[in-house]
Amino acid sequence: MVLAKEKTLPSWAGALVEFDDEGLKEREGRGRKPRLPPEKQEDFKIELDKMKISFQGGRITATDRQIRL
């Protein structure tokens, strides 16, 4: 049994006819894109660690982060 909406089944069938079994596999480019590119994630983590050391109590918020950029 497959749980899908009625509109989904014809699109699956079309993909299967057009691309064989490759048409049913997940493809890149689906979903929301990350706000921070993967190559900058490590730099962001390092910068947050620096802020934790210099921050005196409380928590680091998005506003604090924007000011330091």
Query: pLDDT grade, residue 69 (50/70/90)?
Result: very low
Helices (H), 1-61: 8-19, 38-54
Query: pLDDT grade, residue 6 (50/70/90)?
Result: confident
Angle at 66 between CA 59 and CA 62, to 5 degrees: 40
Tell me if 48 sits within 8 A of 35, measured CB to CB: no
pTM higher than 0.75: no
pLDDT at 16: 81
List pLDDT tens digits, range 15-43. 888 888 777 777 777 778 888 888 888 88
- Per-chain mean pLDDT for the chain: 77
